Amino acid sequence: MDQAETVRTPSSWVVVGLDNGGTCNNATVLDATGQFLVNNLVENPSRVLDGPESAVEALADAFANILELTSTPLSLVRAVGLDTPGPASAHGVISSKGATNFNQVSWHGFDIRGALETRLGMPVVYNNDGNAAALYAHHQHFGADAAAHSSVAAIVGTGLGGGVVEAGQVVRGAAGMAGELGHVQIPLHGVLEDGQPVPQCNCGFAGDVESIASLTGIRNNLLPYWLTRFPDHPLASEPIATAAKALRGYGEKEDALAIAVFGQQAKAIGKLFTIAANFTDPSAYFLGGGVVEAAPHFRQWFLNTVRENTDLRDEQKAVATFALVPDRDMAGARGAAVAALKTVGG
C-alpha cells in the first residue's frame, strides 16, 4: 500500500479484520468509534496451498503487518475477526470434505479459527467470506439503524457466496451453513434459452444459482453453450478456462455473447432474490463479487437487470433497496472486523 495519507492511527481500542483468500490475505483495523484505519487493500500471500501450518502463520504475518502499518500497539487489540471461504462450521472448522481453497487432506476438518486464536493469543471471531461481505454491506448501508433491518447478499465469484442478515445479525443456522445461496435451486423458466442444457453444479445439484451465476458456471455451462451460438467469436479459439476469465472484459464493451451470458446470470440472481422476497422479505438486496469489480456502467447494468428480474409485490417495491456491496474487495476484511467489534464491544 503506497498512500500513507489513507492510514490513520487508533484513538481507542481496536479490532483487526482478516480476510483469507486462495491467493492473498487482506487486513484492516477498526477502532471502537467505528472508524477504519486504512482505506486501501493491505495484502500478503495467504499460503493456503502450503497447508494449515503455513497458512495460519501467514495470517499471523498479516495481523502483525497491519498493526505496524497503522502504528497500533498490540495492547489495544481486543479481538480479531477472521473470514475464509466455505464450507465451514459456524466456529471456523473447515468442512470434513475440504473446500475449493482447502483441498489437501490436512485441511479436512481443520479448526482454522481455533488455530489462529492459539497462535495470536486473543479471541478470534469467525464468519465465512460471503457472510462477512453481507454483514459489512448491511451495516454500511443502514448505519445506526442496522439492527432494525434485514438484507440478503449474493456474492458472485468462482462460486456464488452469500449471506442473510436479520436484525443486523448474520443468520448462521444449526450447522453454521445458512446463507449458502449458491446452492438454492431456482426455476429456470425465463433464464435459459429453448434447448439450452440444464446447468450442473460441482456440488451435485442441477439448476442451482451457482451453476449459472459464477465463474465456474460460465466455464462449465454458459460459455460452452453460447459459443455454439457465436462460433466465430474471438473467445472460441481460446481454452475455455481462459475464455471464461476474459469474458467480463467483453461484457464491459457490450459484446453480444458476453451480454447474453451475464444477462442469464443476472436473471438467475433475480430468481434467487424473488425466493428471498417470499422467505425473509428483506429490506435490501445486495450484489457483490467480480461483477462489482467491473467498469461502473457494466456493474450498474448488471444490478439493474437483477432488479428487473426480481419479482416483488408492490408493497415490497415501495420499501426494498437494491445496491452494490460497497468497498468491493475490502468488504470481507471489513465485515470480519465489524463482526469482531459487535462481539467484544456491542
Which of the pair, 324 or 291, is modelled with greater confidence? 324
End-to-end CA distance of the chain: 31
| CATH of the domain spanning 145-325 | 3.30.420.40
Instruction: Describe the strand order of the beta sheet including 160-166 as a list of residue ranges.
Output: 169-170, 160-166, 151-156, 284-289, 321-324
Query: Are the CB atoms for 199 and 220 separated by under 8 Å?
Result: yes
The closest alpha carbon to 280, from 318, 312, 326, 309, belongs to 312
Asked if the model's pLDDT at residue 208 lies above 90, the reply is yes
Other beta carbons within 10 angstroms of residue 236's beta carbon come to: 14
**Rounded CA separation 249/258 (Å):** 9
Query: Are the CB atoms for 188 and 207 separated by under 8 Å?
Result: yes
HEC string for 99-119: CCCCCCHHHCCCEHHHHHHHH
What's the one-letter identity of residue 248? Answer: R
Asked if the model's pLDDT at residue 3 lies above 70, the reply is no
Query: How many Cα atoms within 13 Å fall on the side-chain side of residue 143?
Result: 2
What pLDDT is recorded for position 92? 93
pLDDT digits (tens, 9 = 90+) for 272-315: 999 999 999 999 999 998 888 899 999 999 999 999 999 999 99
Please list, residue by residue across 12-50, b when 16 or more beta carbons sit within 10 angstroms of its beta carbon and e when fewer do.
ebbbbbbbbbeebbbbbbbbbeeebbbeebbbbebbbee
For range 312-326, the mean pLDDT: 96
**Rounded CA separation 13/31 (Å):** 6
For range 148-165, the mean pLDDT: 93
**Rounded CA separation 261/10 (Å):** 46
HEC string for the chain: CCCHHHECCCCCCEEEEEEECCCEEEEEEEECCCCECECCCCEEECCHHHCHHHHHHHHHHHHHHHHHHCCCCHHHEEEEEEEECCCECCCCEECCCCCCCCCCHHHCCCEHHHHHHHHHCCCEEEEEHHHHHHHHHHHHHHHHHHHHCCEEEEEECCCEEEEEEECCEECCCCCCCCCCHHHCECCCCCCCCCCCCCCECCCCCECECCCCCCHHHHHHHHHHHHHHHCCCCHHHHCCHHHHHHHHHHHHHCCCHHHHHHHHHHHHHHHHHHHHHHHHCCCCEEEEEEHHHHCCHHHHHHHHHHHHHCCCCCHHHHCCCEEEECCCHHHHHHHHHHHHHHHHHHC
What pLDDT is recorded for position 2? 42
pLDDT digits (tens, 9 = 90+) for 98-108: 776 788 899 99
The pTM is what? 0.89
Locate CATH 3.30.420.40 in the chain.
14-135+330-345, 145-325
Query: Are the CB atoms for 265 and 188 separated by under 8 Å?
Result: no
**Rounded CA separation 333/341 (Å):** 12
pLDDT digits (tens, 9 = 90+) for 170-204: 998 887 778 889 999 999 999 999 999 999 998 88
What pLDDT is recorded for position 229? 97
pLDDT digits (tens, 9 = 90+) for 67-107: 999 999 999 999 999 999 878 888 999 988 877 678 889 99
Domain 14-135+330-345 has CATH 3.30.420.40: yes
Which of the pair, 9 or 256, is modelled with greater confidence? 256
Angle of CA points 328, 58, 164, to nearest 5°? 40
